[in-house]
Amino acid sequence: MNEMIEKPSTTVRLNKHLALNLGISRREADNLIDRGNVTINGAITTLGTRFNEGDKVAVDGKEIAAKTKYQYIALNKPIGYVCSRRQQGDSPTIYELLPESLHQLKTVGRLDRNSSGLIILSNDGDFTYHMTHPSFFKTKIYNVRLESALAPLHQQMISDYGVQLEDGPSKLQLERMNDVDRKSWIVTMHEGRNRQIRRTFGALGYTVLKLHRTNFGNYTLGDIKPGKFEIVDKI
């Protein structure tokens, strides 16, 4: 008698599908499912659900079309651009620098309008979560130019003790960029609080004139020109 050969499953895990196509983490996808926001062919789903090709997956009644693959790009953001989809006042958005085929990608963290340098964009929600959540301690490196020379005492305060901000202490690793002056610094940090570097120096009376990110985790800006981008691999 011939033995039955079990065919490999062709079903897709629902939370993985949502993470890819919504640009969220699988944890966030599970939360959507658990709240009853997700349906398959009109029926509310539960955690751990799988579905077949051709089934209609919807979130809050809106069908989710499948994307082809995860994408990752590194962009050299110029000063004056904002990391949002909508223009803010007269400030253009970084999406104006990208072809329309990449407009569905989301920024992995942000840089403020007056900052420049490395921005990663992706549609991989799990990747974004691991790159930005404080528990993963992703190193970020910036070139910083101050309006006035940083006093040695303030350098020691920032590097060794930290500066108290309204949302908690801020400790940065500082390295002089040259031996000529004390205005130009290489700043290394592992957090990602809003405008943290500017606020840290500002708390001691210094104004940041230039803030340019060169490294984020395992990614480096390299020779990408301002306003240009490169497709990169997941590292």
Q: Which residue has the higher pLDDT, 10 or 230?
A: 230
- Per-domain residue ranges of the chain: 12-63, 72-132+223-231, 139-216
Rounded-to-integer distance, Cα 90 and Cα 67, Å: 33
Contact of 186 with 177, CB cutoff 8 Å? yes
Indicate if 72-132+223-231 has the same CATH topology as 12-63: no
Rounded-to-integer distance, Cα 60 and Cα 123, Å: 20
Q: Which residue has the higher pLDDT, 24 or 120?
A: 120
Q: According to the model, what pLDDT value does residue 53 have?
A: 77
CATH of domain 72-132+223-231: 3.30.70.580
Q: According to the model, what pLDDT value does residue 1 have?
A: 37
Fold for 139-216, please state it.
Pseudouridine synthase (3.30.2350)
- The predicted-structure confidence for 160-189, as pLDDT tens digits, reads as follows 999 999 989 999 999 999 999 999 999 999
The model's pTM is 0.74
* DSSP SS3 for 94: helix
- The predicted-structure confidence for 60-100, as pLDDT tens digits, reads as follows 999 987 766 889 999 999 999 999 888 878 899 999 999 99
pLDDT bucket at 9, cuts 50 / 70 / 90: very low
**Residue whose entry in the numeric block shows the structure tokens 């309204």:** 166
Q: According to the model, what pLDDT value does residue 19 have?
A: 85
Q: Is the pLDDT of residue 2 over 70?
A: no
> Which residues does the annotation mark as catalytic?
112
Most confident of 1-15, 57-71, 180-194: 180-194
Question: What Rg, from alpha-carbon coordinates, does the chain have?
Answer: 22
Q: Domain 12-63 sits in which CATH superfamily?
A: RNA-binding S4 domain (3.10.290.10)
Q: What is the mean pLDDT of the chain?
A: 90
